[in-house]
Structure 1
Amino acid sequence: MEAGRVVAPPTASPRHALDLSARVFVAGSRGLVGAAVGRELRRKGFTNVVGPTSAELDLRERGAVRDWFADVRPDVVVLAAARVGGIRANATRPTEFLSDNLRIQVNVLDAALEQRVERLLFLGSSCIYPKFAEQPIREEALLTGPLEPTNNTYAIAKIAGILQVQAVRRQHGLPWISAMPTNLYGPWDNFHPEHSHVLPSLVRRFHEAKEAGISRVLNWGSGTPRREFLHVDDLARACLHLLEYYDAGDPVNVGTGTDVTVRELAELVAETVGYRGSIEWDPSQPDGTPRKLLDVSRLTALGWTPRIGLREGIAQTYDWYLEHLGSGAVRQ
């Protein structure tokens, strides 16, 4: 076992077996990640899953969050709430990405500490790592170099969350943990033309081009950066696995351990959607980090591996998109 790496064989008993009657608060329960975590909890038989909407509880409002925790007293917290978006959203709204995420995190983590919540999982993002980190990226790369400028405010907020979890462990002895997912996709994703991430954006663009008979689709960047993609249902399974099997301050990467170029991704999405026109690229637009592949050895040593392949996952996502197109579920 490497220094600083807490692992357990796949056959080990859970270090923190969760009671199916525990009150589990999923913060961000209507988002891509929170909805998937809620589905997985219920599938596993948890009977007391709570997740107020943002209209019912604005996590940016400190007093409201504190009062809610005092009233509900959750046993377990999964902090999946965040302001998220792709390159364009991060580049044009950096203030909100920093301010909103810092407030959400600090309010939830402080209220959870006040109520002595025994088990908490903070979800960050792979963008916390330096832009030119050695690939695949190990958890130890955190804070060893400059960040990608297009999303550095979001990354700083998430890094602050990791440090707060570590501080609570040191000062108060609570077994809180952090996980850093790679690029996510799946049902309930954001398909907005300007604020979405690359995969749902491609789904929408190719679908609309096919429906309109458009002969060419122009995409941002060169198409050469390499990215790793994880289906959100696999992430939800990983979250429950970590809550039961992991107990250390260091964050844990959650991904597949494989990547593709953005160009390869676009071609796969176009094939899935049935778009047969020309796929073109605008290299004057930013590419972001050249490569972002996570080292997932810490997680696999705990006995977890993903189940949903990229081709299968994209097909499932497109089916969901078609089924919910025109409804409030597809954010446009």
Structure 2
Amino acid sequence: MDAVISSTGLAKTYGGVRRVDGLDLAVPAGVVSGFVGPNGAGKTTTLRMLLGLIRPTEGRAWVLGTEITKPHVYLPQVGAMIEGPAMTPALSGRANLDLLAVLGGHDRSRIGETLQLVGLAHRADDPFRSYSLGMKQRLGIAAALLPDPKLLLLDEPTNGLDPAGIVEIRQLLRRLAGTGITVFVSSHLLSELEAICDHLVMIRAGRLVFQGPTSELLARQLPRIRAVPEDSADLPVLARLATDRGNPAIISDGAVVVDAPATFAGELNREAMQHGITLVELAARQNNLEDAFFALTGSATGDTGITTLEAAR
């Protein structure tokens, strides 16, 4: 099979609630693929099914060309970190990896290589308890790399990290993809996935919303023009000028926001001048992944947490 991860009608029900609902996945090889969705959308449940940790209620799935009913066949070529790394605090980073390599039957000679790859070679002999949260996450990824995997599955690897830690993980994932590993990373931090992902799988309430190249999704979205009049009393008039010309506009945070091609900015500026409206700000920007997500899910909120999921239903 061409796809590294694929499925047809994949579903999982817990207690009468359908957590994953008929996913048809197709993740190509050699990409960083973002698994996007609000908290509670079914991302972790899907990853657990792909790893053979739980059985699907319905449907079929394949990892590296092998059906997930035979995890012993494909798991030796898969690295994973689900819900954070589990390490022994008193042991050093190197000793933790050595223990995991012995338990997993992995080549212990790869420990130095993986520590170097995740940027922890200089702290390899320090106790795990002395690591920052970002370093702990990177050591967890190093553990997932011990099998020399073709596929790396990561569940919320930036969860709880400060901005510097998030940047560290972002750079690491790009380096890993450069070595030929396919990375499938779940997150609800859309801005971070936009920065690193070539490919996206987007779900809401367990259902597939979009999958394909990130560029394809972003190309579907019209740019947005933000116009701020000097006198706030002119906001309704400015919005009407845009809407009358076939470009939907809303008033938000003291500005008129218009979904329109960037070229419409000049026309809007001229119309404003003709109606005696002075603009103090006029700018066009391309929509980002967060804009695309909310457009697809029908949510008007800016939060990708569980409240967004409820609002989008």
Shorter-chain TM-score above 0.5: no
Which protein is bigger by CA-based radius of gyration?
Answer: 2
Q: Structure 2 length normalisation: TM-score?
A: 0.32
Greater percentage in strand: 2
TM norm structure 1: 0.30
